[in-house]
Amino acid sequence: MLTDEYIKRVYDQVVARDGDQPEFLQAVREVFETLQPVVEKHPEYEKAGVLERIVEPERTIKFRVAWVDDEGKVQVNRGYRIQFNSAIGPYKGGLRFHPTVTESVVKFLGFEQILKNSLTTLPMGGGKGGSDFNPKGKSDAEVMRFCQAFMTELSRHIGQFTDVPAGDINVGGREIGYLFGQYKRIRDEYSGVLTGKGLEFGGSLARTEATGYGVCYYTQEALRVLRNDSFEGKTVVISGSGNVATYAAQKAEQLGAKVVTVSDSNGYIYDPNGINVEVVKQIKEVERGRLSEYAKRCDHKTVEYHEGAGVWVTPCDIAMPCATQNEVHIEDAKNLVANGCKILTEGANMPTTLEATQYLQQNGVAFFPGKAANAGGVATSGLEMSQNSERLSWTFEEVDDLSLIHISEPTRPRLIS
Ligand code: NDP
Ligand code: 2IT
């Protein structure tokens, strides 16, 4: 419930302006609900129009991306970059390529990115971008031509001191490589304009693992501080099988937990003996295949594949949604609580609906929001920018240790009294 007059007024203004952007409204509402005590304590924020400013992007860029497919036919997609806030540093945030990308999706992601980035304590503003391009089923050459066309327009808006994009859903090392090559060609400049680059051309060790590892570092710290507990012996349910899910599963297993599920948009794997992360990596990262292959590749006899279903019916101690927004609904929250879940850590951005979040919190589940819990990725991107600026490469251990400090110190879970 929004009770504060100032917050209500600004929220109504957002609804009037952006009423057709449901994901953005959801993200703003979630933040505003938690900000009420802050605004009441600081009347100067209203005078300075802080909330009005934080919900309005500094710049919204929307552009045509025309490219040629393998049949020689011209395809047209829509590209976005929302440069939301540069108060504390250059705009920073990922690019997402997925058919569900709209202005509302990019805007909610950019809005959350402002807060997440500031939590890392590194000097990074907030932004996000992407396209409704669907890379599934496209050849490498088609993905390359799309990325080059996308960057041809984007290049005029970004730069190492202006705006530094990175990966997100369906944008990984391959895409960042194509995008970087095109930027370099157009601008004749070799700079840290993108993060998540290949190690051979300025990428940072540990960036690939960073978001998933960070999700577990955060959860581990929460277990220690709040419950004097650890991952040891816990059953963990994870959704997704991409970059975040894979490395969250790997770290949770290293810390002594048993991860029993992973999923993709077609269905999920239940493996009561513990997911074999190397098999998932081979199928999803190397072959860009489907998880339905898992049972054939893994020698565990008890593996189940559930087509067209979600993971949240699975009993667990800890749930980690790592796929996409609004993937944990109220029915899922009820199933999780009924089946003994005690912790939910958001690896994805806004994976839990508002109603589901409230239900979890009212039923004794410790809820760790993505803006803090998945900040390890962008924190390590910040460290990649530092390495690029000083033209040096740090070791895996140096980056891993530093990112741990940046995500666990300022965002350390605290008991709110
Ligand atoms: P990937 O593209 O590597 O993996 C995404 C995974 O989620 C895939 O298994 C994909 O299945 C599944 N998925 C994606 N969209 C949907 C959908 N609409 N419905 C069902 N399943 C879906 O992306 P990441 O792992 O990088 O990102 C996952 C989440 O984490 C996103 O919310 C992203 O914003 C967030 N995040 C990412 C960071 C990063 O550094 N990469 C940093 C912080 C947050 P399929 O293969 O079938 O498409
Ligand atoms: O949501 C996110 O934090 C990301 N996709 C990573 C952003 C980045 O700039 O590394």
Output the pLDDT for position 201: 96
- Res. 30: pLDDT tops 90: yes
- The Cα–Cα gap between 196 and 216 comes to 20
Contacts of 47 (CB under 8 A, 6+ apart): none
SS (H, E, C) 203-233: CCCCHHHHHHHHHHHHHHHHHHHHHCCCCCC
Given pLDDT bands bounded at 50, 70 and 90, which one contains residue 411? low
**Active-site position among 128, 197, 234, 258:** 128
- The Cα–Cα gap between 69 and 403 comes to 40
- The Cα–Cα gap between 385 and 194 comes to 8
- Res. 406: pLDDT tops 80: no
Q: How far is the CA of 349 from the centre of ligand 1 (A)?
A: 9
Contacts of 184 (CB under 8 A, 6+ apart): 190
Tell me the two tokens of residue 345.
Answer: 């850590």
Output the pLDDT for position 417: 36
Evaluate: CB of 117 within 6 angstroms of ligand 1. no
23-42: average pLDDT = 96
Evaluate: CB of 107 within 6 angstroms of ligand 2. no
Pairing of strands 258-264, 267-270: antiparallel
Q: Of 218-232, 311-325, 357-371, 392-406, give the lowest mean pLDDT range.
A: 392-406
- The Cα–Cα gap between 224 and 415 comes to 12
Q: How far is the CA of 347 from the centre of ligand 1 (A)?
A: 9
Nearest C-alpha to atom 3 of ligand 2 is from which residue? 378
Q: How many CA atoms lie within 13 A of 295 on its CB side?
A: 12
Give the residue from 248, 255, 214 showing the smallest Cα distance to 231.
Answer: 255
- The Cα–Cα gap between 105 and 230 comes to 35
What's the residue count for the chain? 417
Output the pLDDT for position 181: 98
Q: Which amino acid is at 96?
A: R
Whole-model pTM: value is 0.97
* C-alpha distances out from residue 398 to 142, 197, 251, 263, Å: 37, 18, 17, 32
Evaluate: CB of 93 within 6 angstroms of ligand 2. yes
251 is catalytic: no
- Answer whether 258's CB lies under 8 Å from 234's CB: yes
Output the pLDDT for position 405: 75
Give the residue from 161, 153, 116 showing the smallest Cα distance to 131.
Answer: 153
**pLDDT digit string (tens) for 303-355?**
999 999 899 999 999 999 999 999 999 999 999 999 999 999 999 999 999 99
**pLDDT digit string (tens) for 254-281?**
999 999 999 999 999 999 999 999 999 9
Output the pLDDT for position 80: 99
**pLDDT digit string (tens) for 151-194?**
999 999 999 999 999 999 999 999 999 999 999 999 999 999 99
Q: What is the largest CA-CA distance in the chain?
A: 64
Quote the distance between the C-alpha of residue 406 and its chain's center: 17
Q: How far is the CA of 153 from the centre of ligand 2 (A)?
A: 21
What ligand 2 atom has the least distance to the C-alpha of 124?
A: 9
Give the residue from 125, 120, 134 showing the smallest Cα distance to 54.
Answer: 125
What ligand 2 atom has the least distance to the C-alpha of 349?
A: 1
Helices (H) and strands (E) in the chain, counts: 16, 12
Tell me the two tokens of residue 404.
Answer: 């741990």
Contacts of 220 (CB under 8 A, 6+ apart): 230, 231, 255
Evaluate: CB of 92 within 6 angstroms of ligand 2. yes
Give the residue from 376, 121, 349 showing the smallest Cα distance to 248.
Answer: 376
Tell me the two tokens of residue 412.
Answer: 């350390």
Evaluate: CB of 370 within 6 angstroms of ligand 2. no
Of all residues in the chain, the percent with pLDDT exceeding 70 is: 97
Q: How far is the CA of 147 from the centre of ligand 2 (A)?
A: 18
What ligand 2 atom has the least distance to the C-alpha of 92?
A: 9
Evaluate: CB of 23 within 6 angstroms of ligand 1. no
Residue with tokens 């009347």: 43
Q: Which of 244, 280, 293, 374 to mutate to test the pocket of ligand 1 (most atoms within 8 A of CB)?
A: 244
- Res. 118: pLDDT tops 80: yes
Q: How far is the CA of 12 from the centre of ligand 1 (A)?
A: 31
**pLDDT digit string (tens) for 172-182?**
999 999 999 99
- The Cα–Cα gap between 344 and 342 comes to 7
- Res. 299: pLDDT tops 80: no
More confident residue, 345 or 410: 345
What is the b/e burial string over 154-175, where b = at least 16 CB atoms within 10 angstroms of the residue's CB?
A: bbebbbeeebbbbbbbbbbbbb
**pLDDT digit string (tens) for 120-158?**
999 999 999 999 999 999 999 999 999 999 999 999 999
